[in-house]
């Protein structure tokens, strides 16, 4: 096995990340800037750093009831290490929870030049296909995280054609859907990343970086308060 990389190299016992010494990064740059550098091979502009900071914070936690937090806590409760519990938590994400940013980015970029989006949305509805980036279990009318992200995107001069497009889809869905379908955090992140020219292949990555500390906080709380093995009570199991 041979691996080619342009991320990190070692020269005379010095570690060089994307052309900068790790030492200089530790001394001069924020964690967010260093993440940006590692992924995109350049330092972020001021507004890019502010936007990425807000994107990460927006995803940081969403309570213990999510499938990812449940998995992480269940794994910790039976005596697993922090990192094994974190891996379990991450496997509680999926295209129905957190991992729809990439799908939403692809959907938006495929359809932004589509002349007749209302017809397209009705077609998807008829085929019972969910539009990625819309709908939420807890937030029924508006996902406040999306609203705040868009307001920050405006302030940072990042809000552009994709954010406008994402909002127009929301309005259109509203005209014929039986239940409210707010632009959720996956969808808002997707639109903003597209307006920042980020490749869709990195959509879910941005969400994951933001949410990992939240999963780790749940694992810590579970270990600290240790209530023993998590099990489903008999009354919550039904035999078919």
Per CB under 8 A, contacts with a second copy among 45-64 are: 53-54, 56-58, 60-64
Considering only residues 100 to 129 of the shown chain, the ones binding a second copy according to CB under 8 A are 102
Residues β-bridged to residue 98: 94
The least distance separating a second copy from the CB of residue 48, rounded to whole angstroms, comes to 14
Cα–Cα distance measured from residue 27 to residue 38, given in angstroms and rounded to the nearest whole number: 16
Would you count residue 99 as binding a second copy (CB under 8 A)?
Answer: yes
Would you count residue 171 as binding a second copy (CB under 8 A)?
Answer: no
Which residue lies nearer to a second copy by CB, 15 or 123?
Answer: 15
Would you count residue 5 as binding a second copy (CB under 8 A)?
Answer: yes
- Given 23, 110, 116, 123, the residue binding a second copy (CB under 8 A): 23
- Given 19, 79, 119, 164, the residue binding a second copy (CB under 8 A): 79
230: helix, coil or strand? coil
Which residue lies nearer to a second copy by CB, 38 or 164?
Answer: 38
Measured CA distances, 106 to 101, 160, 182, 195, 238 (Å): 9, 17, 19, 13, 40
Binding mask 124-163 for a second copy (x = CB under 8 A): -------------xxxxxx-xx--xx--x-----------
Would you count residue 96 as binding a second copy (CB under 8 A)?
Answer: yes
CB 210 within 8 A of CB 59: yes
Would you count residue 25 as binding a second copy (CB under 8 A)?
Answer: yes
Residues β-bridged to residue 17: 8, 20
CB 33 within 8 A of CB 44: yes
Would you count residue 200 as binding a second copy (CB under 8 A)?
Answer: no
Residue-wise over 60-98: b if at least 16 C-beta within 10 A, else e?
ebbeeebebbbbbbbbbbeebeeeebbebbbebbeeeeb
Would you count residue 67 as binding a second copy (CB under 8 A)?
Answer: yes
């Amino acid at each position: 096995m041979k691996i080619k990389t342009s991320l990190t190299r070692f020269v005379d016992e010095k570690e060089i990340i994307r052309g900068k010494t790790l030492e200089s990064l530790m001394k001069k740059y924020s964690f967010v800037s260093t993440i940006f550098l590692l992924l995109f091979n350049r330092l972020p502009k001021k507004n890019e750093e502010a936007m990425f900071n807000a994107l990460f914070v927006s995803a940081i936690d969403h309570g213990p009831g999510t499938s990812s937090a449940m998995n992480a806590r269940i794994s910790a409760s039976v005596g697993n290490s922090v990192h094994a519990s974190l891996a379990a938590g991450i496997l509680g994400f999926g295209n129905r929870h957190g991992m729809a940013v990439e799908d939403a980015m692809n959907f938006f970029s495929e359809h932004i030049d589509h002349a007749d989006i209302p017809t397209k949305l009705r077609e998807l509805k008829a085929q019972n296909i969910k539009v990625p980036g819309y709908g939420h279990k807890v937030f029924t009318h508006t996902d406040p995280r999306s609203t705040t992200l868009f307001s920050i995107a405006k302030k940072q001069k990042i809000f552009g054609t994709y954010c406008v497009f994402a909002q127009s889809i929301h309005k259109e869905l509203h005209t014929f859907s039986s239940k409210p379908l707010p632009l959720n955090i996956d969808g808002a992140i997707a639109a903003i990343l597209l307006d920042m020219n980020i490749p869709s292949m990195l959509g879910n990555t941005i969400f994951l970086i933001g949410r990992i500390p939240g999963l780790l906080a749940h694992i810590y709380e579970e270990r600290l308060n240790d209530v023993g093995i998590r099990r489903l009570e008999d009354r919550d199991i039904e035999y078919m």
